Amino acid sequence: MEIVDCGVFFGPQSKGDLDTSIEKVLSILDQGGINRALVTSLTGLFHSFEDGNEDTVRVCKDRPERLIPLATLNPRQTVDLHGAVEKIVDADFKIVGFFPSYQAWSLRLHCFEKAVLEVADAGLVPLLTLGGDPAGASSQMEFDGSVQLTHVSRVARLLGKFDSPIIVRWMEGAGYLLTAEYVALGKDFSNLYFDMGNMVTIGSIELLIDEIGEDRIVYGSNTPFQYLKSSLFMLQTILISEEQRKKIASGNILKIIGEK
């Protein structure tokens, strides 16, 4: 079964001594049998999103058969969102990631909403990653994962203004408290997609599939920050058909980026 991981990171991090070099990340993917991966440079998360995007393009050009570039866009680092998105389009990205917790900004920012619309209008796919390290946020409550998920409702309602999908990912375990919100949002917004990689409550992935279908669920591992085998185990053992499993493992994300 082909597996395309939509949540992989590489490059220098802001703290800690974890080896996040591209060579180490590739070795982890090899051990897990991951065929391809959407990758993002940590430079884009912790420093300059433009420098990070250049780093991502460089690494992916060296390994086009294995790596798919995923851009980052920090809405607080530019007042020219249109120009920033044009550069991302010119670099041939297909997906643009937003990382509010890592960059310590709120989903309630108007410039974030404008950035999402710019990305969608350009024919790109917004990917919203919630949870994770608050990166020095002044208020832990403001960047708490459960609080952020309530803000997804506001983001999701932007989808009525365009037809392209938006993907929601979770950097930490998404437990039973979040499942009902996932289902409610998924039913109301047909272009909202979910990453199953951190849906840790037993039965939650099957429930989401029963309620909204398998066509809007993708797979991401958050390598190298989380154990790859944990998310792989969930992918391999959830009680679904093999055809459904293949869609989640690779088919859905490849369709989103226009490769299927």
CATH of the domain at 221: 3.20.20.140
Q: pLDDT band for position 14 (50/70/90)?
A: low
Arithmetic mean of pLDDT, 130-147: 49
CA–CA dist 192, 252 (Å, integer): 12
Arithmetic mean of pLDDT, 23-49: 96
Arithmetic mean of pLDDT, 44-73: 96
Q: Are 195 and 170 in contact (CB under 8 A)?
A: yes
What's the pLDDT at 136? 38
Q: Are 24 and 31 in contact (CB under 8 A)?
A: no
Order the strands of the 125-130 sheet from edge to edge: 71-72, 95-98, 125-130, 166-170, 192-195, 217-218
What are 143-196's pLDDT values in tens digits?
A: 454 555 566 666 766 777 777 899 988 766 555 667 788 888 889 889 999 999
What are 74-123's pLDDT values in tens digits?
A: 999 999 999 999 999 999 999 999 998 888 888 888 999 899 999 999 99
* C-alpha distance from residue 22 to each of 27, 157, 257 (Å): 9, 36, 22
Arithmetic mean of pLDDT, 126-143: 58
Q: Are 164 and 191 in contact (CB under 8 A)?
A: yes
pLDDT at residue 139 above 50? no
What's the pLDDT at 105? 86
Domain limits for position 219: 4-256
Phi (first) and psi of residue 57, to 5 degrees: -60, -45
Tokens, residue 64: 């086009």
Tokens, residue 87: 């550069």
The full 3-state SS of 105-129, as one line of letters, equals CCCCCHHHHHHHHHHHHCCCEEEEE
Q: Are 216 and 186 in contact (CB under 8 A)?
A: yes
What are 218-230's pLDDT values in tens digits?
A: 999 999 988 999 9
Arithmetic mean of pLDDT, 51-65: 97
Structural domains counted in the chain? 1
Q: Are 192 and 165 in contact (CB under 8 A)?
A: yes
What's the pLDDT at 162? 78
The answer to whether the peptide bond before residue 224 is cis (omega within 30 degrees of 0) is: yes
Tokens, residue 92: 């041939």
What's the pLDDT at 33? 96
Q: pLDDT band for position 199 (50/70/90)?
A: confident
Tokens, residue 241: 């058909």
